[in-house]
Amino acid sequence: MTASITEARVLVAGGRGIGGPEGFQMLRRVANLLGGEIACSRACLEAGWIDTAPQVGQTRKTVRPDLYLACGISGAFQHVTGMENSGLIISINKNPAAPIFDISDFGIVGSVEIILPALIQALEQYYSE
């Protein structure tokens, strides 16, 4: 794993839709399985769910990983500006009209609380074979 999100090839980012600081436990698990780092939106930082280091956006870090997995991120302009040049963008959001889907290569409409545990299980199974 890298020390900086600007150097990471894989970023698993969380927004308000992850529900709280405990949501970052799932994000860390996914990031660990994929050999990546976690990042966040400004909403998570302002809510005190995580420290300032991994914030992506216009006023923080601009990133260009090979894979950006956006979990519960609405897609506010300030956030999108910091990650829109990522190689592959996959977004999970329960709102089918979330602006993040406009820049995503793949979008999954659903709850991160349901989708991420299933993803973790699939990745663990894949890497155990």
User: Can you give the pTM of this predicted structure?
Assistant: 0.93
Identify the CATH number of the domain defined by range 11-112: 3.40.50.1220
74: CB partners within 8 A, 6+ apart? 15, 16, 17, 41, 93, 95, 98, 99, 100
Mean pLDDT, each 10-residue run in order, the chain (129 residues): 80 96 95 96 92 82 96 94 96 97 98 96 93
